[in-house]
Structure 1
């Protein structure tokens, strides 16, 4: 998997700046605990930290061939087919790694190599013939890549911390960066810090002496869907079987993340079938509970554990429950680790539980398959099926998610709301459409597109940071662009043909699953219901209100915050009250640690 960092400066001899380049690279140590590499030429420094997954001996980086040097993060799942094709064109390989395949693909096809890749990746490639740097990101944005233009070049890295480690860049925050932190819709390319950007999914950024150019090589398009429902279901199954088989390639121990929902259960069953019955390992998160057992809330009807155990028994997986208590979820060590992993405010127990789950998994496996993104692709969230959410001229998930906005200053709330409305209309303008789509079908295409280009990126970022912070590679089969393209263009009636959510996925995989999971209603990633955790969050918010120097205070509606603290601790209010408190506390932690200048 790995982490990359680098620096291009056409007006500076970077061979004299090795320590700075090394410091940038070492910020990626958690992403790549197995090895470090640094390559410097007069105007370019490329750094790499490696998590060895394929070709443990031969995949060292930076990797050079002729005039080209590459630092690469991710996996190219079709590298074996590409290798055979490149060999037919006369290329001879020194390693078994997918990194060398990507390098030689560039030598064959130039920047058009991106058209040939299937995978999750972010990489930087320097061509000394033209003195140009390419920054490339996968189609769905599974792997991160940030950059900051400088006067004479660019700084880049897998995470903001690599750029922040260079003295040329200081943390600054404009209002729109603050709005990005307060809202739940990720603007493509926006990196919160002023002057820093993300390479957008499906884009190539080219850096030369003439400056930077940005080219999009992939986007969702509207195509007529001509398959009937039975053929569509079969095609989804065919794609999933091929995708899972590709993503099981690994030279290190591999497992699945299992929640007992349709998505992760289907992947676990498919992986077990591909590996051999009773071979796959699976892991699930669960929580201790001081409060007397699970209570249904606004978004979760049932606890995960009974369904997890049904699947594990049904497929015969070697299963482990990772049980977390409120003490560990609220521990300063876990909170600090999440903050430093994200370089952004943490998301409360949803982040710390994921981090702690991954830390435990890493003791046994280096690679995990996750069901992330199936809800965005197949229409799983409840608000997809809520007429009011669908009709609203707003991001539909805002009806289902609590947020920071409940506790921020009213004027800031108003301005952030206006910013969010503007971003929503920009997103709607991007949606591809077919001629003649009726109102309902057109609207559901818009809803699906919003999820696949905005919401899913929030979740993929969280998954990447929490997993790579412990050196775990998490693969997301549902983000294979072939599946995304195919399902995006199926009519909404197909996605709900059995009268329920995610009909196509259920129809494609129900033969692999226990009946309990086939019947189960969508339940999102779990949150602890232990009142001990909420008490810990309340104590931290009380501390902020008692501290006149707390950096979040200028942004806080203190009256609203005190009112929330007066409310009794109760599970019914978990979604709104606790989420709002968690995010204010997280924002305060971030402002304290990173000290951005608000300009």
Structure 2
């Protein structure tokens, strides 16, 4: 896990260290273990390193035998197998990223189909002056770019481009509308008008500052699934075990975020299988609130496999002290309650480990959300693959017009009509394309990289995802419960996890903490210029005051509050803290 950035100039311009060093400084938190540079007459590349594999010789840029240059962020989990298949290549290091150079030399952009991992990389071929930017098919690792009349510049985080004065922080209205309604923005648009995302699985070919070609690789490859349930349990065991084993390849200590839920319980069982006793686990709870605390079950499971378990508290003081830091870390904003405990867990874990395994993706792959159960119902009973309502639809007579906020999702629904998917698979596909990369995986990346920790997600793996996605529906979800096969697997291999018990979900009591200071928040939010383009002062006051007795007001109030903080931090450059907000 690292930070990468660079510039490809149009003819007549050349990179300089003066232009590249601000990018390095802006991405230093992503790579605290060192940095590296490459420059020629048209292209400059930088790399900030978080050392995970090949601590001695794995520094970047890496150089291929044909003169190609690589800077990469992420991990190629099957690098050992790939090196064995391509043994005649003169590998110079033990770095997992070096296989990108060898396979690109042979297969070009088609080499991505061989890679099992998470990655965003830039590969430069000086002989042709072609710069290739690529991102893994699930969008686990981020990559952003800006295109001007003089250059194309890219970076692992959008604010690196802004801080290096390569792009402005002018707002993109369409992306802001998505953010306010979905709590994240979709596709290539970021909230910054001049800055685009590389799409999951996308490859851009850039020559002398211009995009000359682009292509995209699908994350899900079709699989034929049999019908025998016992076979599915054993097949799942093989696929999941293989993924976890690959994800544990590391030359530094690693741990696990353990919530007590189905997904992290499965990760615990498999990590114990491959690691043995002594695994470091981290759980978090919210003492003094009404939120159900599953740390008791998490601790019970951890102790059953002789893990080194850590219990972490998240309090109201943490909410106020850490929220500004969470906002600062999310330059590409994700307005997700779970970012708060994830940020603190990463802070605590960073004292012991440099790699953390997390259960992200389990719900999307094995159909754990209630919305998937709704997708199975007939239309007459409320069956649907997309809710079609945004967060701020609950607020009448808004100043801002949010029309078009779900255009990208409607385009995906239209595209799905051409695919032979079930209603459940269509609902999953929408999440794979939008929710997973732009909310869950962005949140995990920003919260962990803020503390120099790499996050790994064995469920978000091309073999596991294809297995889960193409399972027959009845092995995934019913009308009352999801993740059926994963629960059956846990019942067989890790029954202490109580897989059939009703799960309450991992909810963060943000509503309680905000309601306790609703008056102060309302006054502060109502006084900010970003809010005044959304709501009248009267609407703002009413929204925050309603939080104390109306739970439906919590999420709209949270979205407005978070967006106001984000705007102050990343657009106005004037971060606010608890002292200012609470007076």
TM-score > 0.5 by shorter chain: yes
- For 2:547 and 2:80, the matched residues in 1 are separated by 58
Q: Decide which moves more: 142-151 or 303-312.
A: 303-312
Q: 1:165 to 1:215 in 2, by over 3 A?
A: same
Q: Please give the TM-score of this superposition, normalised by the length of structure 2.
A: 0.90
Q: 1:497 to 1:465 in 2, by over 3 A?
A: same
1:336 aligns with 2:324: yes
How many residues of Structure 1 are paired with residues of Structure 2 in the alignment? 567
1:162-212 per-position Cα deviation (integer Å, ceiling 9, x unaligned)? 221233421222321221221216422222211321111111111114633
Q: Which residue of 2 aligns with 1:552?
A: 531
1:446 aligns with 2:426: yes
Matches within 5 A, 1:50-65: 50-65=49-64
Paired residue secondary structure (2:7) = strand
Q: 1:407 to 1:586 in 2, by over 3 A?
A: farther
1:467 aligns with 2:448: yes
Q: Which residue of 1 aligns with 2:564?
A: 588
Q: Which residue of 2 aligns with 1:298?
A: none
Q: Which residue of 1 aligns with 2:554?
A: 578
- For 1:44 and 1:120, the matched residues in 2 are separated by 25
Q: Which residue of 1 aligns with 2:435?
A: 455
Shift of 1:248: 0.7
Asked if the contact 1:123/1:136 (under 8 Å) is kept, the reply is yes
1:2-37 per-position Cα deviation (integer Å, ceiling 9, x unaligned)? 01111110224434x311211012211111111111
Paired residue secondary structure (2:159) = helix
Match of 1:482 among 463, 469, 473: 463
Shift of 1:537: 5.8
Q: Decide which moves more: 201-210 or 212-221.
A: 212-221
Asked if the contact 2:143/2:198 (under 8 Å) is kept, the reply is yes
Poorly superposed stretches of 4+, deviation over 6 Å = 387-390, 392-395
Q: Decide which moves more: 158-167 or 209-218.
A: 209-218
Paired residue secondary structure (2:338) = helix
Structure 1 unmatched runs, 5+: 295-301
Paired residue secondary structure (1:207) = strand
1:423 aligns with 2:408: yes
Match of 1:171 among 159, 169, 191: 169
Shift of 1:61: 1.0
1:204-250 per-position Cα deviation (integer Å, ceiling 9, x unaligned)? 11111463321012243556534432222221111000000111111
Asked if the contact 1:381/1:522 (under 8 Å) is kept, the reply is no
Asked if the contact 2:399/2:534 (under 8 Å) is kept, the reply is no
1:493 aligns with 2:492: no
Q: Please give the TM-score of this superposition, normalised by the length of structure 1.
A: 0.88
- For 1:474 and 1:206, the matched residues in 2 are separated by 28
Q: 1:172 to 1:369 in 2, by over 3 A?
A: same
Paired residue secondary structure (2:165) = coil
- For 1:32 and 1:404, the matched residues in 2 are separated by 38
Q: 1:446 to 1:387 in 2, by over 3 A?
A: closer
Q: Decide which moves more: 249-258 or 145-154.
A: 145-154
- For 1:532 and 1:204, the matched residues in 2 are separated by 43
Q: Which residue of 2 aligns with 1:312?
A: 302
Asked if the contact 2:376/2:424 (under 8 Å) is kept, the reply is no
Q: Which residue of 1 aligns with 2:250?
A: 250
Paired residue secondary structure (2:499) = helix
Q: Which residue of 2 aligns with 1:299?
A: none
Q: Which residue of 1 aligns with 2:89?
A: 91
Q: Decide which moves more: 151-160 or 491-500.
A: 491-500
1:482-510 per-position Cα deviation (integer Å, ceiling 9, x unaligned)? 11112211221121379731011112232
Paired residue secondary structure (1:288) = coil
Paired residue secondary structure (1:556) = coil
Root mean square deviation of aligned Cα: 2.6
Q: 1:96 to 1:344 in 2, by over 3 A?
A: closer
Q: 1:341 to 1:405 in 2, by over 3 A?
A: farther
Q: Which residue of 2 aligns with 1:351?
A: 339
Q: 1:423 to 1:65 in 2, by over 3 A?
A: closer
Q: 1:474 to 1:568 in 2, by over 3 A?
A: closer
Matches within 5 A, 1:218-367: 218-220=218-220, 224-276=224-276, 278-289=277-288, 291=289, 293-294=290-291, 302-331=292-321, 334-345=322-333, 347=335, 349-367=337-355
1:528-578 per-position Cα deviation (integer Å, ceiling 9, x unaligned)? 368445424652232222x2x5332111243332223333635xx45x323
Paired residue secondary structure (1:144) = coil
